Amino acid sequence: MGELAILSSNGDDKLMWDINNKDEVEKAHKEFDKFKDKDYTFFEVLRNGDQGKEIKKFDPKVESIICIPTTRKG
């Protein structure tokens, strides 16, 4: 089971998918791309809760992804 957690002004929204369910994977991929286009940054979250590497494209095999707004210095 995969999870995409999206941090936004609405709080923490979650989207889950089963890797064997094509429709769920497609929906998660579209949501990933939607926020990528809004200049969010994605990170894989490791099983022990630590932050993993930054993700540039959706991979349905990643169990947990966190999506955060990109911050800019100004």
∠ CA 27-57-65, nearest 5°, is 70
pLDDT band with cut points at 50, 70 and 90 for residue 74: low
For residue range 46-70, list pLDDT tens digits in order.
878 676 899 999 999 999 999 998 8
Instruction: In whole angstroms, give the CA distance from residue 20 to residue 70.
Output: 31
Question: At 41, is the secondary structure helix, strand, or coil?
Answer: strand
- Separation between Cα atoms, residue 15 and residue 33, nearest integer Å: 13
The kind and range of the H/E element at 37 are: helix 22-37
- Domains by residue range for the chain, with CATH: 2-69 (3.10.20)
Could you read off the pLDDT of 4-58 as tens digits, one per residue?
Answer: 999 877 788 999 999 999 999 999 999 999 988 888 899 998 878 676 899 999 9
pLDDT category, 72, cuts 50, 70, 90? low
